[in-house]
Amino acid sequence: MRKPFVAGNWKMNTDSRSSVALATGVAEGSVESAGQNVDVAVCPPFVYLRAVAGAVSSSSVAVGAQDIYFEEKGAFTGEISASMLKDIGCTYALCGHSERRHVIGETDELVNKKLTAAIAGGLLPILCVGELQSEREGGQTEEVVARHVKEGLAGLSAEKVSAVTVAYEPVWAIGTGLTATPDQAQQMHAFIRKLLSDLYDNKMADAIRILYGGSAKPGNAAELMSQGDIDGLLVGGASLKAEDFLGIIQAAV
Supply the residues annotated as catalytic: 97, 169
In 3D space, the residue among 89, 156, 165, 100 whose CA is nearest the CA of residue 127 turns out to be 165
Q: Of 68 and 200, which has the nearer Cβ to ligand PGA?
A: 68
Residues at the site binding ligand PGA, with contacts judged by CB under 6 A: 9, 169, 174-175, 213-216, 234-238
Tell me the closest approach of the beta carbon of residue 238 to ligand PGA, in angstroms.
6
For residue 47, what is the enclosing H or E element? none
Tell me the closest approach of the beta carbon of residue 153 to ligand PGA, in angstroms.
19
Length of the chain: 253
Q: Are 238 and 42 in contact (CB under 8 A)?
A: no
Tell me the closest approach of the beta carbon of residue 200 to ligand PGA, in angstroms.
25
Tell me the closest approach of the beta carbon of residue 111 to ligand PGA, in angstroms.
15
Q: Of 4 and 237, which has the nearer Cβ to ligand PGA?
A: 237
In 3D space, the residue among 41, 129, 128 whose CA is nearest the CA of residue 85 turns out to be 41
58 CB neighbour count, 10 Å cutoff: 9
Burial per residue of 23-47, b for 16 or more beta-carbon CB atoms within 10 angstroms, e otherwise: bbbbbebbeebbeeebbbbbbbbbe
Q: Of 156 and 238, which has the nearer Cβ to ligand PGA?
A: 238
**Residue nearest to ligand PGA as judged by C-beta position:** 236
Q: Of 70 and 212, which has the nearer Cβ to ligand PGA?
A: 212
Residue 19's φ and ψ, nearest 5 degrees, are: -65, -40
